[in-house]
Amino acid sequence: MLSNTLSARPRLWLPLLLTLAIAACSKDETAAPATAGQPAATTAATPPPPAVSAEVQAMNVDQLRDAATNALRENRIYAPGGNNAMEYYLALRDKLPTDPAVTSALTDLLPYTVIAAEQSITREEFTEAQRLAAIIEKADAKAPSLPRLKQSIASSQQAVAQRALDTEARTKAAEENRVKDQQRLAQQAEQQKATEAAAALQLAQQQEAARQEAARQETARREAEQREAAARATAQQAPAAGAPAAAPAAGSNQLRPISTPAPRYPPEALRAGTAGEVLVEFTVGVDGSVTAARVVRATPARVFDREAVAAAKRWRFQPVSEPVTTRRTIGFNPGG
């Protein structure tokens, strides 16, 4: 009597199951919330639940029969774990191993469980896939799809683990590149600071050298003025009367040149055939040497100035009673 009842009820629901097969498979994710949304690596590391839960195994035949009927009516073919038709029928088969209705029901429901397992693998819900594989293996240890499912679960788990390793490696490489970029930017900033400090030091040194040169020139000018003042004082203190040799000769302050070498012609001006003249003002000391010289006017400007002043400073005159300042024009003619 029990066998006939079990046989009739699965056959009654199978047309409906065929109609709702796709919908049933698509509800795997909702039916198994414990695995949905979990990281693949965590799911793979969790031991799968048994094919038939202990609570289902503890139910008696009548309870299992009613539970299986309700599960089929509510389209709970293989999920959720511990409350689905496959587990109820497997527990019934353990209690009624020779009942053909139970065997027939398991045979009819097995393909949907296989599809659900494949979908769980695709979604990388490996704990759920292993639970379903355990149900399939308990239902039919020689099911043709079982080796393929197990291999697919293993290879998919390896792929997910490798992907996690690759992601970790990329993240690590990105972090290393970020650290290197920060170090490079810090080095560039330090180099920029060092360059600016070196430029500031060089500018300070140039300014100090210019200050020292200006001080040296000022000192030299004052010393020259002091020598000239001393020479004038000495000349004024000399006896107005006395031996003819002691008095300055008439016209002794007139400049009488001893040596006036010509200036050097600037090479650039000579190559260019440039001619010009420089009006030089110079001072002759009491010993006849030129103590100072400067350019008053030059045509063209700044071409012959340096050589004109250098030449004037080499000139020598007969000694005079006091310093004499005068001007002379020095000409430059490339063909002269």
CA torsion angle 118 17 143 57 (round to 10):
100
Of 105, 115, 123, nearest in space to 35 by CA: 123
Q: What is the pLDDT of residues 135-180, one digit of tens each?
A: 999 999 999 999 999 999 999 999 999 999 999 999 999 999 999 9
Q: What is the pLDDT of residues 125-135, one digit of tens each?
A: 999 999 999 99
Domains of the chain: 2-165 (no CATH), 257-332 (3.30.2420.10)
Cα three-residue angle 132-135-137, rounded to 5 degrees: 110
pLDDT on residue 46: 60
Q: Which of 15-19, 172-176, 267-271 has the lowest mean pLDDT?
A: 15-19
Please state the pTM of the whole predicted model: 0.46
Task: Tell me how far CA of residue 159 lies from CA of 79, 152, 153, 169, 314, in angstroms.
Answer: 26, 10, 10, 15, 96
